[in-house]
C-alpha cells in the first residue's frame, strides 16, 4: 500500500518531524492540530472558542486538500489541558459535523505544544 503525504499551505506547517496528514489507501490520518493561524503563524487563542474554531479550520483545510470533508471523518481525538472546559470545546466542535458524528475520545493532558488548551487529531475514510 502506498502512503501519500498530504500537506497544504492553508494549514500550519508542522512544527516537528511529521506531516499534516498521511493517506494510506482510502484512509486519511491527520496529525493533531492546534490553533496556529497558517497565514500569520501566530496563535489564535484569545478564548477557548476562538482556539477551537481555528483548530477545526486547520483540520478542514487538510481534509479539503485530500478531497474530503468532515462527513468523511470516522474518529477524532481531543486533547484538553482542562477537562472542566470540555463543554466549551464540545459546543464549537459539534457545529462542524452535519451528517453524523464520528467516534471520539477526549483526554486531559498536562500540557500541549505551544502551551495551547486544545489539540485535535482525526481519521477519515473515503
Range of the domain at 100: 3-125
Q: What is the number of domains present in the chain?
A: 1
CA pair distance 63, 60, nearest whole angstrom: 5
Nearest to 56 by CA among 100, 4, 112, 96: 96
pLDDT in tens, the chain (126 residues): 799 999 999 999 998 999 999 999 999 999 999 999 999 999 999 999 999 999 999 999 999 999 999 999 999 999 999 999 999 999 999 999 988 899 999 999 999 999 999 999 999 999
Q: Residue 58: which CATH number?
A: 3.30.1330.40
pTM across the whole model: 0.96
Amino acid at each position: 500500500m502506498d502512503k501519500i503525504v498530504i500537506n497544504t499551505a492553508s494549514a500550519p506547517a508542522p512544527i516537528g518531524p511529521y506531516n499534516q496528514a498521511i493517506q494510506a489507501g482510502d484512509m486519511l490520518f491527520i496529525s493533531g492540530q492546534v490553533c496556529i493561524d497558517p497565514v500569520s503563524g501566530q496563535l489564535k487563542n484569545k478564548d477557548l472558542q476562538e482556539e477551537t474554531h481555528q483548530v477545526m479550520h486547520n483540520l478542514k483545510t487538510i481534509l479539503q486538500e485530500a478531497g474530503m470533508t468532515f462527513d468523511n471523518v470516522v474518529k477524532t481525538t481531543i486533547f484538553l489541558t482542562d477537562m472542566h472546559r470540555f463543554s466549551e470545546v464540545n459546543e464549537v466542535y459539534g457545529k462542524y459535523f452535519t451528517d453524523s458524528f464520528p467516534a471520539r475520545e477526549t483526554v486531559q493532558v498536562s500540557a500541549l505544544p505551544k502551551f495551547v488548551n486544545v489539540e485535535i487529531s482525526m481519521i477519515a475514510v473515503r
